[in-house]
Structure 1
């Protein structure tokens, strides 16, 4: 009799665990890029070492200024570029980036793009799923001007982790604040 009840209870427990929403990710406030930017970052994300960044970006023309990552391949990178930028240029950058990304990643799936006002600043963004090294990667790319230069931020994770990280990525973007 005990064995007969055990199987349905085990199935019910598995179904309940599968149906529950992903655990809430705790976000913590960080100041990055020499305190120029304040942003929420998922708790447990740590700064990637210089050696890891050198390895990952060995063949790239440029690499991010700093990358925060966890052990399950999700990351948040910041590239403080040399490109001139101001609030009036954010719309232009958004249009140019979208055109470039659509051309460069013709097989990508684009979810949304545009410009939003976040904490009193124009922030451009592109949300997409693109192929990378044989698998699909979810990315939320967002950008604005900081002290006359363009700041590019990219939240990335494997496609299978999109349900867990998509809303977190959007919360991170919505928390972006310039300290200048």
Structure 2
């Protein structure tokens, strides 16, 4: 029985898919209709390592002023070319110990529920990631012209609270959700021994 062109193309596509990596630490990852390559970037005097898409850049000041009111603007906002997908990092001057991460995570979730009752929450939890307790929750929030998907995470960094967020348009969340969790689960805090020089 002869193979039709469609069957041959489908087989080739399947072979190609099986050879692709689906992890951000191993190579380009297909998200939606394109591929993204991730690189580990260092923040906070090289104490925090986070995988970020290579083509994401710092959000321009004019756009960040619109998207994030000044009092709530994160210290770091990495974004794609049109500003629709963001990864933010913000160190808050609030003491945090490993054992408090779960309480902090639930407290932040409660605050967001009160501030905006129209937020819809999905999963939440605390995981040990590279020796650190990391709390997280994901939710859908209303924006100016659409809904957003958000994955917030929290951890202790130098005795203070580090808060991170991944966000994208809600209609793109199915393509990005797994990758967003990979970003969180690849976060590393570099522990420097007292009196030792950083590597």
Which of 106, 115, 128 is the aligned partner of 2:139? 128
- The aligned residue for residue 52 of structure 2 is 41
- The aligned residue for residue 99 of structure 2 is 88
Which of 64, 74, 82 is the aligned partner of 1:64? 74
- The aligned residue for residue 167 of structure 2 is 156
TM-score relative to the length of structure 1: 0.81
The question of whether the paired residues in 2 share the 8 Å contact of 1:83 and 1:150 is answered with: yes
Tell me, what secondary structure is at the counterpart of 2:177? helix
* Offset of residue 43 of structure 1: 2.5
Please give the alpha-carbon distance, in whole angstroms, between the structure 1 residues aligned to 2:149 and 2:43.
23
The question of whether the paired residues in 2 share the 8 Å contact of 1:98 and 1:113 is answered with: no
The question of whether the paired residues in 1 share the 8 Å contact of 2:153 and 2:164 is answered with: yes
Please give the alpha-carbon distance, in whole angstroms, between the structure 1 residues aligned to 2:173 and 2:125.
20
TM-score relative to the length of structure 2: 0.74
Tell me, what secondary structure is at the counterpart of 1:61? helix
Gaps of 5+ in 2: 1-5, 14-29, 192-199
* Offset of residue 114 of structure 1: 1.5
Gaps of 5+ in 1: 1-8
| 1:85-112 alpha-carbon deviations (Å, 9 max, x no partner) | 1111101101211211222232222111
**How many positions carry a matched residue from both structures?**
164
* Offset of residue 33 of structure 1: 2.3
- The aligned residue for residue 88 of structure 2 is 77
* Offset of residue 167 of structure 1: 1.1
Coordinate RMSD, CA, aligned: 2.3
| 1:103-151 alpha-carbon deviations (Å, 9 max, x no partner) | 2232222111121111111001010111111310000000101001100
> Mean Cα displacement is larger for which, 162-171 or 147-156?
162-171
The question of whether the paired residues in 1 share the 8 Å contact of 2:31 and 2:176 is answered with: no
List structure 1 runs of 4+ shifted beyond 6 angstroms. Answer: none
